[in-house]
Amino acid sequence: MTSHPAPPWLVDRLRDHGGWVPFSTYMDWVLHDPVQGAYGSGRLQVGPRGDFATSPSLGPDFAALLAPQIAQWLQQQPLDCSLALVETGPGEGHLALQLAEALAADWPALAARTELVLVEPNGGMAERQRRLLAACPLPCRWLSFEQLALAPVCGVMLAHEVLDALPVERIVWDGAQWRRQGVSLREGAGPGGGSEAVQPQLQLDTGEPLPTQLAAQLEPLGLAVAGAQRAAGWCSELHPGLHPWLQQAAAALKAGQLLVVDYAHEAWRYYAPQRSQGTLMAYRQQGASNDPLLEPGHWDLTAHLCIETLVTAATTAGWGFLGQRRQGEALLALGLAQRLHGLQQQDPAQLPQLLSRREALLRLVDPTTLGDFRWLAFARGVAGDPQSLFLQDPPLA
């Protein structure tokens, strides 16, 4: 297994923890440490010129298509209640700003009752969001889930490409039992066995058998039976952070809808015998790697969501499941084809901008990339049978 030089801060951290930590602890440190973490420090940049692009970072069309869905859900709240659009993990703040602008332009009465609430645990990212949202047409507040729980709001909550940044546990079948994978520090003699100084190395290592709480999660995923036909060394992820996150989200939203948009697979696909190394990926400067130990604190680390794990975690945390679609289908239901067609009627003097918008719209529905993202909607405290535009059939052209 490849090892990589450990930066001094991680050497100290790992020594303090006895030289080995579960993968989830390592992932938390390298993403969210306020000084060294890729998000915590604000080092990672979202966008086509940054480390990786997301749908809203490609331009305003994604938010323009999503806005009618947000408006529909906000309109399902009682008329006399003030409203919030809560974005968790807003990254650069593109989506929040574009949605606020769309609401203010096309639903002014609704916008007049709506505030924007940003939930961003990483100070470095929040700083950039504040700068971008200085021009926001809606009032904005940055609050933690804990602060929101003291005075929960009504409205809509978004989690766009945020749950894939929650630390995952890596599990390994060693041929006889399930074990937890972790990151260890290798310190020792130089290559010749001498006492020359050698930089300590990081390495992925299989550690203790799975603790009971994690082992209990294997059964619904079809992994409980010994080995379940997995070869020794087969490795994947579990998502213990999802349930606590969804509980916190539920405590923050008195009534309304939650839209999760992320990479996700059904359990049968996620945990298929042939997917022997899980879904963990690292991203930096538009490059991708499956090595999570590269330059810790400089790469984004993400793992797909497992749909059944997410839905179970949400329902046990008090959310009702409204349904799910692939992003391609969701955006077609929200009028993407009409928007694409509408570009042809625009002023040809704007040709370069029109071509780049056309390219962005096609990327959003490309089934091999962004179009394969899942949109999963949940609700709590909403009266009646709340409808969702994105779950309907696409309009006829």
Interface residues with ligand SAM (CB under 6 A) are 39, 46, 54, 56-57, 88-91, 94-95, 119-122, 125, 160-162, 165-166
Residue with tokens 């945390």: 317
- Looking at the Cβ atoms of 56 and 371, the one nearer to ligand SAM is 56
- Looking at the Cβ atoms of 10 and 162, the one nearer to ligand SAM is 162
- Looking at the Cβ atoms of 122 and 236, the one nearer to ligand SAM is 122
- Looking at the Cβ atoms of 271 and 283, the one nearer to ligand SAM is 283
- Looking at the Cβ atoms of 262 and 329, the one nearer to ligand SAM is 262
The dihedral region occupied by 68, where left means phi > 0, alpha psi between -120 and 50, and beta the remainder, is: alpha
Instruction: Report CA torsion sign: 135, 137, 139, 140.
Output: negative
Token duo for residue 15: 């020594």
- Looking at the Cβ atoms of 132 and 389, the one nearer to ligand SAM is 132
- Shortest distance, position 60 Cβ to ligand SAM, whole Å: 13
- Looking at the Cβ atoms of 60 and 90, the one nearer to ligand SAM is 90
Instruction: Report CA torsion sign: 110, 115, 120, 125.
Output: positive
- Shortest distance, position 365 Cβ to ligand SAM, whole Å: 16
Residue with tokens 């310190």: 187
How many Cα atoms occupy the beta-carbon half-sphere of 261 within 13 Å?
28
- Shortest distance, position 158 Cβ to ligand SAM, whole Å: 8
Question: What distance in Å separates the CA atoms of residue 344 and residue 338, rounded to the nearest whole number?
Answer: 10
- Shortest distance, position 280 Cβ to ligand SAM, whole Å: 15
- Shortest distance, position 245 Cβ to ligand SAM, whole Å: 6
- Shortest distance, position 297 Cβ to ligand SAM, whole Å: 13
- Shortest distance, position 178 Cβ to ligand SAM, whole Å: 26
Query: Residue 46 carries which DSSP code?
Result: B
Residue type, 105: A
* 281: number of Cβ within 10 Å: 19
- Looking at the Cβ atoms of 162 and 282, the one nearer to ligand SAM is 162
Question: What distance in Å separates the CA atoms of residue 7 and residue 185, rounded to the nearest whole number?
Answer: 11
235 and 271 Cβ atoms separated by less than 8 Å: no
Residue 192, burial from CB neighbour count under 10 angstroms (0-12, 13-18, 19+): exposed
Please state whether beta strands 305-306 and 287-289 pair in parallel, antiparallel, or not at all (unpaired).
Answer: unpaired
Chain centroid offset of residue 238 CA: 15
- Shortest distance, position 148 Cβ to ligand SAM, whole Å: 12
Token duo for residue 225: 């039976």
- Shortest distance, position 163 Cβ to ligand SAM, whole Å: 8
Question: What distance in Å separates the CA atoms of residue 96 and residue 116, rounded to the nearest whole number?
Answer: 8
Question: What distance in Å separates the CA atoms of residue 48 and residue 382, rounded to the nearest whole number?
Answer: 37
- Looking at the Cβ atoms of 205 and 237, the one nearer to ligand SAM is 237
- Looking at the Cβ atoms of 47 and 320, the one nearer to ligand SAM is 47
- Shortest distance, position 299 Cβ to ligand SAM, whole Å: 12
Query: With helix as H, strand as E and coil as C, how does 221-237 read?
Result: HCCCCHHHHCCCCCEEE
Based on DSSP, count helices (H) and strands (E) in the chain, helices before strands.
Answer: 14, 18
